[in-house]
């Protein structure tokens, strides 16, 4: 089989890496890819939002399956275009992808189908939203309705901070059209966890649990990022709680979408807040998490191509997911200044030394080649991932790998997975 993966980050590198281990694979392409992905796949430099050109490429190269990594192409309808042309693609169609593309759409669905989530109200007027914040008080959460690369959520500890957040989103247009509407939401305190599952619209197969670290600095301080690290399993997701999540969150959402006339096929990701051993949905995503995919796929034993084809053919009930018993930890190395302004083009060294380590992997996120030298090209640069007998062992091994890597201004958190270790 020939496979095309859409995307350029650490998540896509993990997908390509997992696809490369499939018994079905003849050749892998990636659009646009990155320096690390280029070791496993042929990277093609198309605009990944030019769906017509991508379909033509798929036809010309005889590509049998396309796997979509990021949310933007899904929200813009790449699956609809491919399916219309009779091409196999893993990812929900545009109607289903509204679940991530519009937080208002998702919250309204949750309300209709009794899925536990925070109290909320949606606004198109900044002034009305400010009045509501003044009435509700703080802490309170402000969310841009549309896609904002994981950065459109502001947890405000004071009313002034909330109002400034509203103005940033709705008046300053920090996230463009994603801020045409906002949600003002009750702040639920607890422990966050990521719950990802494969689904063909009927069967739902949960992946192993994971947790990420959104804040840029140790101790969960500083601004939100796309994710500074993740680990699997997440001790907070017990076997009993997994059953509750499936019963109260995942199955009701798939059934609710069916009731709306929407068939959801692909990855369903619930970002959860766990409070008093009960799950509350913070958000739904229509794709794999980044960096959660890196530790989760490091543990996946089942052939990813078999899973993808079963989803597309609506035969997921035939799949038996198998996982390594190991724990896994991913630590993101970022550029200085991220998630704000950062420099590019810094030479990266030491990756060959990491390749000599067993059960340690470096997934590239923001890398490129410049005069045959590996350089930084993004805010999140590398995801150093390791397996271990438990989370502490995996964490220690990942940080040992990081010690071999260097580039000017590199930044990473020193406390990834500490909260999990305390629970063990």
169, 144 Cβ separation under 8 angstroms:
yes
Query: Treating both helix axes as pointing N-terminal to C-terminal, what angle do 103-112 and 251-259 enclose, rounded to 10 degrees?
Result: 100
If one counts the domains in the chain, the total is: 4
Give the rounded percent of residues in the chain with a pLDDT score beyond 70: 100
362 lies in the same domain as 403: yes
pTM metric for this prediction: 0.95
Give the pLDDT score at 48: 67
211 lies in the same domain as 302: yes
Averaged pLDDT score across all residues of the chain: 96
Domain boundary, last residue among 295, 318, 341: 318
User: Could you tell me the CATH number of the domain that includes residue 130?
Assistant: 3.30.1490.20
Residues 6+ apart with CB under 8 A from 256: 109, 112, 113, 115
CA distances from 184 to 120, 142, 145, 167, 180 (A): 6, 5, 10, 13, 13
8 lies in the same domain as 81: yes
Residues 6+ apart with CB under 8 A from 39: none
> Phi-psi category of 192—alpha, beta or left, where left has phi over 0 and alpha has psi -120 to 50?
beta
251 lies in the same domain as 342: no
User: Could you tell me the CATH number of the domain that includes residue 370?
Assistant: 3.90.600.10
Q: What is the pLDDT of residues 353-391, one digit of tens each?
A: 999 999 999 999 999 999 999 999 999 999 999 999 999
Using CA atoms, how far apart are residues 364 and 384, in angstroms rounded to an integer? 9
Task: Establish if 142 belongs to a structural domain.
Answer: yes
Residue whose entry in the numeric block shows the structure tokens 């550029």: 335
Helix, strand or coil for residue 251? helix
Range of the domain at 195: 191-318
Helix (H) / strand (E) containing 253: helix 251-259
Asked whether residue 75 carries a pLDDT value surpassing 80, the answer given is yes
Q: Residue 255: exposed, middle, or buried by beta-carbon count in 10 A (0-12, 13-18, 19+)?
A: exposed
Tokens of 67: 């796997």
Buried b (16+ CB within 10 A) or exposed e, 140-164: bbbbbbbbbebbbbbbbeebebbbe
Residue whose entry in the numeric block shows the structure tokens 């801020």: 179
Q: What is the pLDDT of residues 247-267, one digit of tens each?
A: 999 999 999 999 999 999 999
Task: Establish if 250 belongs to a structural domain.
Answer: yes
Q: What is the pLDDT of residues 176-197, one digit of tens each?
A: 999 999 999 999 999 999 999 9
Task: Establish if 259 belongs to a structural domain.
Answer: yes
169 lies in the same domain as 197: no
211 lies in the same domain as 314: yes
76 lies in the same domain as 134: no
Using CA atoms, how far apart are residues 196 and 285, in angstroms rounded to an integer? 9
Task: Establish if 110 belongs to a structural domain.
Answer: no
Complete DSSP assignment for 9-70:
SHHHHHHHHHHHT-TT-SEEEEEE--TTGGGTSEE----TT-HHHHHHHHHHHT--EEEE-S
């Amino acid at each position: 089989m020939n496979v095309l993966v859409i995307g350029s980050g650490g998540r896509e590198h993990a997908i390509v890496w997992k696809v490369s281990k499939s018994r079905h694979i003849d050749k892998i392409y990636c659009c646009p890819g990155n320096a690390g992905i280029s070791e496993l796949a042929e990277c093609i430099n198309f605009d990944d939002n030019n769906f017509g050109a991508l379909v033509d490429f798929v036809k010309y190269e005889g590509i049998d399956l396309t796997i979509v990594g990021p949310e933007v192409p899904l929200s813009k309808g790449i699956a609809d275009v491919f399916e219309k042309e009779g091409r196999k693609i893993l990812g929900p169609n545009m109607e289903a992808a509204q679940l991530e593309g519009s937080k208002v759409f998702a919250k309204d669905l949750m309300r209709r189908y009794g899925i536990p989530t925070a109290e909320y109200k949606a606004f198109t007027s900044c002034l009305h939203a400010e009045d509501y914040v003044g009435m509700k008080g703080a802490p309170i959460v402000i969310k841009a309705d549309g896609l904002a690369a994981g950065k459109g959520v502001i947890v405000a500890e004071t009313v002034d901070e909330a109002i400034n957040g509203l103005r940033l989103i709705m008046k300053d247009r920090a996230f463009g059209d994603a801020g045409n509407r906002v949600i003002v939401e009750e702040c639920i305190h607890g422990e966050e966890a990521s719950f990802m599952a494969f689904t063909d619209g009927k069967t739902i197969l949960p992946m192993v649990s994971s947790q990420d670290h959104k804040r840029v600095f140790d101790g969960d301080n500083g601004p939100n990022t796309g994710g500074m690290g993740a680990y699997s399993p997440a001790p907070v997701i017990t076997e009993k709680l997994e059953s509750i999540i499936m019963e109260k969150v995942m199955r009701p959402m798939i059934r609710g979408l069916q009731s709306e006339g929407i068939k959801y096929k692909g990855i369903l990701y619930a970002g959860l807040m766990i409070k008093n051993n009960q799950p509350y949905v913070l958000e739904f995503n229509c794709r794999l998490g980044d960096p959660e995919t890196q530790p989760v796929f490091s543990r996946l034993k089942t052939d990813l191509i078999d899973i993808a084809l079963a989803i597309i053919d609506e035969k997921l009930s035939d799949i038996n997911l198998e996982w390594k018993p190991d724990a896994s930890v991913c630590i993101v190395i970022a550029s200085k200044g991220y998630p704000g302004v950062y420099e590019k083009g810094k030479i990266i060294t030491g990756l060959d030394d990491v390749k000599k380590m067993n059960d340690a992997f470096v997934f590239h996120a923001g890398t490129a080649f410049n005069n045959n030298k590996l350089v930084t090209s993004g805010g999140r640069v590398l995801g150093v991932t390791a397996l271990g007998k438990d989370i502490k062992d995996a964490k220690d091994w990942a940080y040992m790998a990081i010690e071999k890597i260097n580039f000017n201004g590199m930044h990473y958190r020193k406390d990834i997975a500490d909260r999990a270790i305390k629970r063990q």
